[in-house]
Structure 1
Amino acid sequence: MKKDYAHYLSETASQLQPSGIRKFFDLAAGMKGVISLGVGEPDFITPWNIREATLLSIEQGFTSYTANPGLLELRQEITSYLGKRFAVDYDPTNQIIVTIGASQAMDIAFRAILNQGDEVLIVEPSFVSYAPLVSIAGGKPIAISTSPENGFKVTPEQIKKAITEKTKAILLCSPNNPTGTTLNKQELIEIARIIEEHDLLVISDEIYAELSYDETFTSFATIEGMYDRTILINGFSKGFAMTGWRLGFLAAPAELVQVMLKIHQYTIMCAPHMLQHGAIEALRNTYDEVEHMQKSYLRRRNYMVQKLNQIGLDCHTPGGAFYVFPSIKATGLSSEQFAEELLLQEKVAVVPGNVFGESGEGYIRCSYATSMEQLQEALKRIQRFIEAKGIYVEDTNKRWRRIL
Structure 2
Amino acid sequence: MKHEISPNLALDQLVTERWAAGEPIVHLGFGESRLPVFPGLVERLAAGAWRNAYGPVAGAPGVLRAVAGYFTRRDLPTAPDQVIVAPGSKALLAALQFAVPGDVLLPTPCWVTYAPQARLAGKHPFGVPVPDDCGGVPDPDALPAALRRARAAGLDPRIVVLTVPDNPTGTTAPPDVIRRICAVAEDEDLLVVSDEIYRDLVHDPATEVLSAAEVIPHRTVVVTGLSKSAALGGWRIGAARFPADEAGVRLRADVAAIASEVWSTLAGPMQEVAEYAFDEPPALRERLAADARLHGRLARAVHAICAEAGAVVRPPTGGFYVYPDFESSRTALRRLGVTDGASLQKYLLGQGVVVLAGTAFGDDPRALRFRAATSMLYGATAEEQEATMRAADPLDVPHVAEALVTIEKVFRTLA
TM-score by structure 2 length?
0.84
Matches within 5 A, 1:264-283: 264-283=259-278
Q: Residue 262 of structure 1 aligns to a residue in which SS?
A: helix
How far apart, CA to CA, are the structure 1 residues paired with 2:267 and 2:193?
A: 25
The residue aligned with 1:401 is none
Task: Tell me how far 1:349 sits from its aligned partner.
Answer: 1.3
**Matched residue type, 1:222:** E
Task: Tell me how far 1:375 sits from its aligned partner.
Answer: 4.8
Task: Tell me how far 1:155 sits from its aligned partner.
Answer: 2.4
User: Residue by residue, what CA displacement relative to the aligned partner does 1:204-235 show, whole Å, maximum 9, x if unpaired?
Assistant: 11110101233132221011xx1110111111
Matches within 5 A, 1:5-404: 11=1, 14=2, 16-31=3-18, 32-58=23-49, 61-84=50-73, 86-93=74-81, 95-114=82-101, 118-146=102-130, 149-152=132-135, 154-164=138-148, 165=151, 166-214=156-204, 215-223=207-215, 226-252=216-242, 253-284=248-279, 285=281, 286-329=284-327, 330=329, 331-332=333-334, 333=338, 334-345=340-351, 347-359=352-364, 361-369=367-375, 370-371=377-378, 372=395, 373=397, 374-386=399-411, 392=415
Q: Residue 231 of structure 2 aligns to a residue in which SS?
A: coil
How far apart, CA to CA, are the structure 2 residues paired with 1:157 and 1:144?
A: 10
Shift in CA distance, 91/144, structure 1 to aligned 2, threshold 3 Å: same
Q: Residue 199 of structure 2 aligns to a residue in which SS?
A: coil
How far apart, CA to CA, are the structure 1 residues paired with 2:111 and 2:368?
A: 16
Q: Residue 138 of structure 2 aligns to a residue in which SS?
A: coil
CA contact (8 A) 2:178 2:211 kept: no
The residue aligned with 2:385 is none
Q: Residue 141 of structure 2 aligns to a residue in which SS?
A: helix
How far apart, CA to CA, are the structure 1 residues paired with 2:303 and 2:183?
A: 33
Task: Tell me how far 1:17 sits from its aligned partner.
Answer: 4.3
Q: Residue 72 of structure 2 aligns to a residue in which SS?
A: helix
**Matched residue type, 2:256:** L
Comparing 33-42 with 354-363, which one deviates more in the overlay? Answer: 354-363
CA contact (8 A) 1:368 1:375 kept: no
The residue aligned with 1:6 is none
**Matched residue type, 2:146:** A
How far apart, CA to CA, are the structure 1 residues paired with 2:163 and 2:358?
A: 17
**Matched residue type, 1:282:** A
Shift in CA distance, 240/386, structure 1 to aligned 2, threshold 3 Å: closer
How far apart, CA to CA, are the structure 1 residues paired with 2:68 and 2:134?
A: 32
**Matched residue type, 1:352:** A
**Matched residue type, 2:78:** Y
- Size of the aligned set, in residue pairs, is 366
Q: Residue 208 of structure 2 aligns to a residue in which SS?
A: coil
CA contact (8 A) 1:348 1:378 kept: no
Q: Residue 231 of structure 1 aligns to a residue in which SS?
A: strand
Shift in CA distance, 139/378, structure 1 to aligned 2, threshold 3 Å: same
How far apart, CA to CA, are the structure 2 residues paired with 1:208 and 1:120?
A: 21
Q: Residue 201 of structure 2 aligns to a residue in which SS?
A: coil
Task: Tell me how far 1:261 sits from its aligned partner.
Answer: 0.6
How far apart, CA to CA, are the structure 2 residues paired with 1:23 and 1:54?
A: 29
**Mind listing any 5+ residue stretches in structure 2 that lack a counterpart?**
243-247, 379-394
CA contact (8 A) 1:82 1:89 kept: yes
How far apart, CA to CA, are the structure 1 residues paired with 2:341 and 2:402?
A: 21
Task: Tell me how far 1:43 sits from its aligned partner.
Answer: 1.6
Task: Tell me how far 1:158 sits from its aligned partner.
Answer: 0.9
How far apart, CA to CA, are the structure 1 residues paired with 2:17 and 2:227?
A: 25
**Matched residue type, 1:221:** A
CA contact (8 A) 1:308 1:379 kept: no
Q: Residue 163 of structure 1 aligns to a residue in which SS?
A: helix
CA contact (8 A) 1:328 1:364 kept: no
How far apart, CA to CA, are the structure 2 residues paired with 1:220 and 1:386?
A: 37
Task: Tell me how far 1:276 sits from its aligned partner.
Answer: 0.9
Q: Residue 306 of structure 1 aligns to a residue in which SS?
A: helix
Name the Cα RMSD after superposition.
Answer: 1.8
Task: Tell me how far 1:36 sits from its aligned partner.
Answer: 1.0
